[in-house]
Amino acid sequence: MQDQDITFAGERLKLMAERVIHWPARSALLAADVHVGKDTTFRLSGISVPEAVVDADLMRLSSAIRRADVKVLFLLGDFQHARLGMTGHTVEKIQRWREQHSELQVKLIEGNHERSSGEVPGCWNFESCGDTIQVGPIALRHHPPSTKRGVKPTICGHLHPAVRLFGRGGQSERLPCFYLERNLLVLPAFGRFTGSSTIDSSKASAVYAVTEEAVIKFQDRELEQEQGTGAKS
């Protein structure tokens, strides 16, 4: 796996190819928008979606936990998708996954889907943390702040950001991405069976596209400005 190391709010972070952030100083992993139960919701609505979708997501999350060797997992909202998808089978599946990581603290920040999905099952052993939690210099939340002016360092989800890459011959590919704009860092949606929204990268300080095996620096305006300033002097 090819990850990317960045500094945000004076903290060293690793953007991982599993679509999560590793925060070494806090022995923490950050993930957003898993949307557990979305596949079940579709199947109950008569749309055939393979159950392997959520199984693959949980395997990827387990892989990231083991690779980063962390003590706490922060879920930045929308871990659940909808009340309809919280069947006994889905609840038991997450319970079994949780038992594989019984020593791991899991802290859940409330997203808009949590509010409509009902109470988090107690057997998951998640700690509910409201809509925002302050960890050192960084606020963790689901929704981005309503205004970016004067915003303190914040990491969030909700936007499901993606970026379109263009190659020769007119071909293009849209990939999930980590999106950095001043004091705001947005995670890509962790769940693969989720939609995404192509961001306006012209406003970004940096964009990091995510493939199956790597995180690729797509744009870094701050670095370009520093290099440009150096060249002129």
pLDDT at 214: 95
How far apart are the C-alpha atoms of 34 and 77, rounded to whole Å?
8
pLDDT reading at 74 higher than 90: yes
If one compares 36 and 82, the residue with the highest pLDDT of the two is 36
CB atoms within 10 A of CB 33: 26
Tell me the whole-structure pTM to 2 decimals.
0.85
pLDDT tens digits, one per residue of 202-226: 888 899 999 989 999 876 654 444 3
Q: Which of 155-159, 182-186, 209-213, 217-221 has the lowest mean pLDDT?
A: 217-221
Q: Which of 39-48, 116-125, 203-212 has the lowest mean pLDDT?
A: 39-48
pLDDT at 47: 53
Q: Is residue 121 a contact partner of residue 88, using CB atoms and an 8 Å limit? A: no
- Which structure tokens are listed for 138? 């960084």
Q: Which CATH architecture has domain 4-232?
A: 4-Layer Sandwich (3.60)
Q: Where are the domains of the chain?
A: 4-232
What secondary structure does DSSP assign to 47-88, as a single string?
Answer: ----THHHHHHHHHHHHHHHHHT-SEEEEES-SB--GGG--H
Spatial CA neighbour of 87 closest among 54, 111, 131: 54
pLDDT at 114: 58
pLDDT at 55: 86
